[in-house]
Amino acid sequence: MQPLLTRSRDIDLNILLFPDFVIIVHQGHHWSGFKDMLGFLNLLCSYGNSSLTPDWILFSIFIELNQDAKYCVKSLEPKILNLKVADSIMENGGENLDKDALATELSNVLTKNFENEFEIYKINGFIKPKIKVLKLLRPKCGNRIGSGVLNLLSGTRKEFEELGEALDHFSHILERSQDTCLTMANVRQSQESNQMGKAMKRISEVALLFLPLQALAGFLGMNVRVPFQQVDSTAPFWGIILSCSVLLVGLYRVSKSASKVRVVKKATSVGFKK
């Protein structure tokens, strides 16, 4: 069943219908639905009191194609659900993972996401032409196909359309999963940027404290005349140090107050825009 959706060339199929038997000649990839189609025709003729006609052969072909599509959609469904489980695990415990583990997990989920999207694309490429053919049967071939078979083929078309809707639902789930992964990556990157910003802020505060003292020590160590040089007491020196310390503390508090005012103004402006 699965190779039918992955093959790159159509099957050159010829069916010769006789009163009591059918000969099928095909060139290219082997289709496993041949045996099931013949078994369906055998049951139809043996127990359904129906004669072997081209109408029923056409119906049996579409029935087997529909079964192939259902098999592929059902095999794809657990992959989508397992991907959702992986997303929920990351959402609940992703913050406990380190950077490398989270990046690996996100990469694996996105890779599976792409693979499943490609599978959906292939199945859609298999289903849509069949729906198009089934829609054209009644207006173009209605006089050559029995009304009962046309009604059955109409039901088969509805089943193909339901499979297409299920694939659209799967595609929507994968899109949400991809958005979740990318959002988690952006959040982790923002957290790392904030941590780096905090570290740089601490380094800047330490530099703000020691650079003026270093400049003052370098100035006092030069062979130049400084105030109170002739005084034998060290009181002027400690007075200068104390004054500089008070000045630094004052400047630090002023800068903190100014940053708070800027944050409040920004939040007020954003709220007003909203």
pLDDT at 135 over 60: yes
pLDDT tens figures, 183-215: 877 777 787 888 888 888 888 877 877 777 777
In 10 A of CB 123, how many CB atoms?
22
At 4 the pLDDT is 47
Q: Are 42 and 35 in contact (CB under 8 A)?
A: no
**Which class is domain 12-86+100-197?**
mainly alpha
pLDDT given for residue 84 in this prediction: 58
Burial class of residue 240, CB neighbours in 10 A (0-12, 13-18, 19+): middle
Element (H, E) at 27: strand 22-27
Q: How far is residue 182's CA from residue 194's CA, in Å, rounded to a whole number?
A: 18
Whether pTM > 0.95 for this model: the answer is no
Q: What are phi and psi of 147, to 5 degrees?
A: -65, -35
Domain boundaries, the chain: 12-86+100-197
As a whole-number percent, the residues of the chain with pLDDT over 90 amount to 9
Rounded CA gap, 184 and 90, in Å?
Answer: 9
Q: For residue 225, what pLDDT is reported?
A: 65
**Angle at alpha carbon of residue 23, lines to 71 and 136, rounded to 5°:** 55
**166 versus 11: which is more confidently predicted?**
166
- Side-chain-side CA neighbours of 164 within 13 Å: the count stands at 15
Mean pLDDT of 214-243: 72
Residue with tokens 């032409």: 129
